[in-house]
Amino acid sequence: MQDAPSTTMREEFADTAAGLPEPFRLWLRGSCASTNDEARALGESGAATGAVVVADVQTAGRGRRGAAWFGAPGESLMFSILWRPDEPKPLWPRLALAMGLAVANACERFVPITGLKWPNDVWIRGRKVAGILVEAGEDFVVAGVGINVNTHRFPDGIATQATSLACEAGFQPERAAVLASVLERFSNHAGRIGRGFDEIVAAARQRCVLAGGAVVLRTQTGELLRGQCDGIGPAGELRVRHGERVLEILQADDVRPVPNG
């Protein structure tokens, strides 16, 4: 189920849509279940790389680990990019870090200091401002992004952990400007998941909020491990010292800093 965008939404994104660099094209939705599903459907029907689905409302927006994603209509920026990488498939997971950096860079235009909570949450002053969900299809990737742009009220369950650009900047950024900024950065960073990935890693390292602190991580098998985070390694992995060993975490269900750890 999807609804057409309102006139207001069309107007809001008109300038951005008209000025987008290649290969991006905007697909506006008033409402849909999830922009990731919409972008996946476009991918499966053969749409070209660079389709960007933006929704005002998601009725089943989702985050990592199957969590629901809260997006305030008209205030959050929720979109998904259909991307057909030139690089071999084993490198596609690196797009998560590339997108995390693109979103952090875009947020930095409005709030100078942002952090990356590996693998790809964007934090400001210890609170989450954006989340990213990267999903692969057969011959494409969908990179879904939710950014709290002008949200001032969050549901009880996340109110103490979430923030928005408006809350941090003290003014209301335009969602279309934030989107244009992410796309500009993403087109640069996405081309560096093969050659040039060291530049992505170096920039991500500078923003890594976990580096140097104690962390608890839940592995893919459900095991809980506590260790000391050594930051991000050359392949984009999180390095965690656990006893005598240094673990190289490529995928974890959940990694959290230990408060005062």
Per CB under 6 A, residues contacting ligand BTN are: 34-36, 58, 61-64, 67, 69, 71, 78-80, 121, 131-133, 144-146
Least separation in angstroms between CB 48 and ligand BTN: 20
Q: Between 36 and 181, whose beta carbon lies closer to ligand BTN?
A: 36
User: Which residue do the tokens 């001032």 mark?
Assistant: 152
65, burial (CB in 10 Å: exposed 0-12, middle 13-18, buried 19+): exposed
Least separation in angstroms between CB 232 and ligand BTN: 18
Least separation in angstroms between CB 81 and ligand BTN: 10
Q: Between 64 and 109, whose beta carbon lies closer to ligand BTN?
A: 64
Helix (H, G, I), strand (E, B) or coil at 228: strand
Q: Between 37 and 168, whose beta carbon lies closer to ligand BTN?
A: 37
- In angstroms, the CA 142 to CA 84 distance is 9
Q: Between 5 and 146, whose beta carbon lies closer to ligand BTN?
A: 146
> Which residues are registered as beta bridge partners of 77?
147
- In angstroms, the CA 128 to CA 116 distance is 9
Q: Between 63 and 231, whose beta carbon lies closer to ligand BTN?
A: 63
Least separation in angstroms between CB 243 and ligand BTN: 30
Closest-CA residue to 143 (of 178, 115, 182): 182
> Which residues are registered as beta bridge partners of 51?
25
Residue 213 tokens, joined = 């602190």
Least separation in angstroms between CB 193 and ligand BTN: 19
Q: Between 80 and 164, whose beta carbon lies closer to ligand BTN?
A: 80
What single DSSP character describes residue 162? B
Q: Between 73 and 194, whose beta carbon lies closer to ligand BTN?
A: 73
- Residue 62 CA: distances (Å) to CA of 59, 66, 92: 9, 6, 20
Least separation in angstroms between CB 198 and ligand BTN: 26
Least separation in angstroms between CB 155 and ligand BTN: 15
Give the nearest residue (CB) to ligand BTN.
Answer: 131
Closest-CA residue to 51 (of 72, 36, 67): 36
- In angstroms, the CA 81 to CA 114 distance is 22
**Any residues with CB less than 8 A from the CB of 24 and at least 6 apart, and which?**
50, 51, 52, 81, 183, 187
User: Which residue do the tokens 């244009």 mark?
Assistant: 180
